[in-house]
Amino acid sequence: MKLTAIIWGMMKMEQSKPWGEVSDYPFEKKLREAKGCLELQGSDGNWNYDPYMHGMYNGMEFMLAMFEDREPQYRSAPKKWLFDKEEKARKDCVESFSKGE
């Protein structure tokens, strides 16, 4: 069974439920919101902060691609995580303070 047929069936079931029973939002609205969440997670400083956030982005991309019946477009890990840069800056600051600079 093709994924689009499954999604179509889910949308039909969603529309046949009485409002407020399971969900107040139709499937299309949830999908739009998921795209917005992926866009936010994919912003600079978010997806490339550390390996966890990178994995979060790729996982969200996988789920959205599955619902849209397309191949996911994963992001490769950056050469340097932003967390590492912040950690180095913190250490440098502590060292400077310890030296009395």
Q: Is residue 58 part of a domain?
A: yes
Q: Which domain holds residue 86?
A: 27-99
Integer CA distances (angstroms), 95 to 8, 40, 48, 82, 92, in order: 59, 35, 26, 20, 5
How many domains, the chain? Answer: 1
The answer to whether position 50 is within a domain reads yes
Determine, yes or no, domain membership for 6. no
Q: Is 45 among the domain residues?
A: yes
Using the predicted structure, report yes or no on whether residue 93 has a pLDDT greater than 70: yes
Q: What are all long-range contacts of 56-61, with beta carbons under 8 Å and residues at least 24 apart?
A: 60/34
Residue 92 lies in a domain: yes
Q: Tens digits of per-residue pLDDT, 55-85?
A: 999 999 999 999 999 999 999 999 999 988 7
Say if 12 falls within a structural domain: no
In 3D, which of 66, 56, 71 has the Cα closest to residue 10?
A: 66
pLDDT at 37 over 80: yes
Tens digit of each residue's pLDDT (9 = 90 or more) over 4-29:
555 556 555 555 555 555 566 688 89
Q: What pLDDT shows up at residue 1?
A: 47
